[in-house]
Amino acid sequence: MLQVAVEAAGGRLDKTLAALAENLSRARIQALLAAGAVSRNGEVLRDGSAKAQPGAYEILVPPVIAAEPEPQDIPLTVLFEDSHLIVIDKPPGMAVHPAPGSPDRTLVNALLHHCGASLSGIGGVARPGIVHRIDKDTSGVLVCAKTDAAHQGLSALFFRHDIDRAYVALTRGAPKPRKGTVQSLLGRSAHDRKKMAVLKSGGREAITHYETTALFGPSDRPTAARVRCRLETGRTHQIRVHMASKGAPCLGDAVYGSGSPAPAVRAAMAEAGLARQALHAQVLGFIHPITGEPLRFEAPLPADMARLEALLHAL
């Protein structure tokens, strides 16, 4: 907790807080502001250029994570691999890189063991080879770089949104309308910094194209649906937030799935053993950044989602 006195107020917020914090630089303060980790009287603050007001400021600094993850012998489902990149079908429950709550047993730890020490410098020490992410409890296709050239090339493709990415979501109810595009600003929720939200201002543009491919339960009032989502952008929790905004959150989503599914759907989820959001990165297509070869990969639904879909068909 930092206390800004009346006589110290009036200057830039980031500069004022950095002067008061013993172990936080101005750049670190700016990053924490951007992450929604700074608040005053319960209000999340994000603008470092705003004038500092007198009062108590709370700064939530995440725990320090080991700078260099250790290789761990964790089985991987490899869809493609050459000397430049590797494509993985990531299982649910595996974090992509070490973070608070997931210090090890991550995809990075597995890649360091699988690819060897040469991977350790690619794309930054803490996240070697990682070009994009999918949530810990989301399954599916993910590409990682094995060389600097591949990392730069893949990063450029993602920056230009020149990637074909399609997901399958099993949702509570069905989105309205059944097919369309959600285009919004997406950023940290002002009420809960751990959540993302559709914003009226600020945040980053997020675009999801979706189509309902199956309805479960009564046709006039479906209790669940299978929805194909194609990402034009790739923001944190994008599909989960966008589906919730259409009134059809992913089944099993403890963060964005407000409201309870119908009893028959809950029973199907329990029987299928679904213990996470029902979201799967099914398709990933791109041009190989080194060879120029068109590549496209498709991963089948994992066991929990496949079983749940079969049970939903019987409703």
pLDDT of residue 67: 58
pLDDT of residue 255: 95
pLDDT of residue 118: 64
pLDDT of residue 311: 98
Contact 164, 294 (CB under 8 A): no
* End-to-end Cα distance, the chain: 53
pLDDT of residue 127: 72
Contact 107, 115 (CB under 8 A): no
Contact 212, 225 (CB under 8 A): yes
In the residue annotation, 82 being an active-site residue is answered as no
Summarize pLDDT for 202-246 with one digit per residue, the tens. Answer: 889 999 999 999 999 998 999 999 999 999 999 999 999 999 999
Residue of 89, 135, 137, 253 marked active site: 135
pLDDT of residue 169: 98
Alpha helices in the chain (DSSP H): 13-20, 26-34, 107-115, 148-159, 238-245, 263-272, 303-313
What predicted TM-score, i.e. pTM, was given to this entire model?
A: 0.79
Mean pLDDT of successive 10-residue segments in the chain (315 residues)? 91 93 87 90 90 93 71 96 96 91 91 78 70 96 92 92 97 97 93 88 94 95 98 96 97 93 98 98 98 98 98 95
Determine the Cα–Cα distance for residues 71 and 104; give it in Å rounded to an integer.
Answer: 9
Determine the Cα–Cα distance for residues 306 and 78; give it in Å rounded to an integer.
Answer: 20
